[in-house]
Structure 1
């Protein structure tokens, strides 16, 4: 993959759109898994250790968020 500063404005906008979609999907999965895990814990079906998966998804959301911030910074520097 190219460096962000090497991408054209059109490529940056496309990458931003794709990353925003991925971030939304990750957040939706994170919320759904957390709710389902809490319901299962309340019912006594699972242990607290199962919450590790949603906690790991938070890292991916943060990485995606940082990438979007870099893209926004590059777009702002180019005047878009």
Structure 2
């Protein structure tokens, strides 16, 4: 259930933005670690199916970053 940002109150929007920002940045750090680990594993053991996981998770990170940008625009428009 995704609420439209224009229908949310300022407090709701700020709270949602803070939590999404924390989750997105932590997710980004985990993705970077996974990419680094995959480079190491490919160099030492060769390619296998699990090396695709960070690439498959990348669109989720991109969507979260875009959502954060939209929230920032909405908050800026309200000021």
Task: Indicate whether the TM-score tops 0.5.
Answer: yes
Q: Which residue of 2 aligns with 1:73?
A: 73
Is residue 51 of structure 1 aligned with residue 51 of structure 2? yes
Deviation at 1:6, TM superposition (A): 0.6
Asked whether the 8 Å contact 1:26–1:57 carries over to 2, the reply is no
Q: Which residue of 2 aligns with 1:9?
A: 10
Q: State the Cα RMSD in Å.
A: 1.4
Gaps of 5+ in 1: none
SS at match of 1:57: helix
The 2-side partners of 1:6 and 1:22 are apart by 23
Q: Which runs of 5+ in 2 are unaligned?
A: none
Three-state SS of the structure 2 residue aligned to 1:47 is coil
Q: Taking structure 1 as the reference length, what is the TM-score of the superposition?
A: 0.86
What is the number of residues matched between the two proteins?
A: 78
